[in-house]
Structure 1
Amino acid sequence: MPERLIPGDPAPAFTLKSSEGLDVSLEDFRGRSTVVYFYPAAATPGCTKQACDFRDSLASLQQAGYEVVGISPDPVDKLAKFAAAEGLTFPLLSDPHHAVAEAYAAWGEKKNYGKTYDGLIRSTVVVDPAGKVAVAQYNVRATGHVAKLRRDLNVND
């Protein structure tokens, strides 16, 4: 597993399919700050809470100059259903082979109920307009994470 990203690192480039079936690349956001968040599975309680928190904060984040992109291992059709069901208006990207999650150190060993396995580590990386990591947060909580991130970025309502 790659080392965790730290501020100043170049953000790994990616191109993935969106919930709308379009190719979306990190390069598409060059010149803007971008919140790239990794979540384990669409339509699960924690991931829904987190996605809805981003949805509800999207206007203030965008006003402060931040775009939001969510990435999970889910297939495009599941992401499309999730986006429609929750009214999500930011890109949800499918990373079925978790190559992008691995590049961002958001894939690795997890422990749950005494079992150890490889899976997606809920993580958020903020990429600056020049494509460098500005913030890297790993093992974040689904609930309350967006509020904490907004505080860290000094984004107000």
Structure 2
Amino acid sequence: GNPSGVVTEGLGFMYNGCMNVFDPRPGRSNSLAPGKSRFTAMSPTIVLKDKQPYLVIGAPGGTYITMGVLQGILNCLVFGMNAQETVASPRFCVTSDVIDVTNRIPRYIQSELESLGYQVRRSHQSFGFAGVHAIRINEQGWDGGADPGRDGMSLQTRPKP
């Protein structure tokens, strides 16, 4: 989650702001309670192909991480995208009864969803979505991708001859 803005004097770090993933209503499966661990969406992932690493993918982004990583995996494995295409593609996220979409999702798709009764919220900034980064490993070598909506880059290094 985003930092809370709270720093304990003398410790020098900001606390995580992910208490918002708890349900404030008592008696529910994810209700706030003493000693209870919070849900986390952290999901650094290694996808294997023929028992060898094929895709390494992960993201910051709080509750949007899981959806971003899943969409990245599908982009690469199902749609055959390279690592940069995988992470640069428009995304959506469903963590409530609202479908959040990046501004790059075509408006006709939003209209179709709304005509089916879904509530859609369009984000004009992609920063709120998971910032997916990936490395793909295949017969031709490695290629990397960094979400263009976030700070970051992918670089390939070569050993000295």
| Same fold per superposition (TM over 0.5) | no
Q: Which has the higher contact order (CA 8 A, sep 6+)?
A: 1
Q: Which has the higher helix share?
A: 1
TM-score by length of 2: 0.24
Tell me the TM-score normalised to structure 1 length.
Answer: 0.24
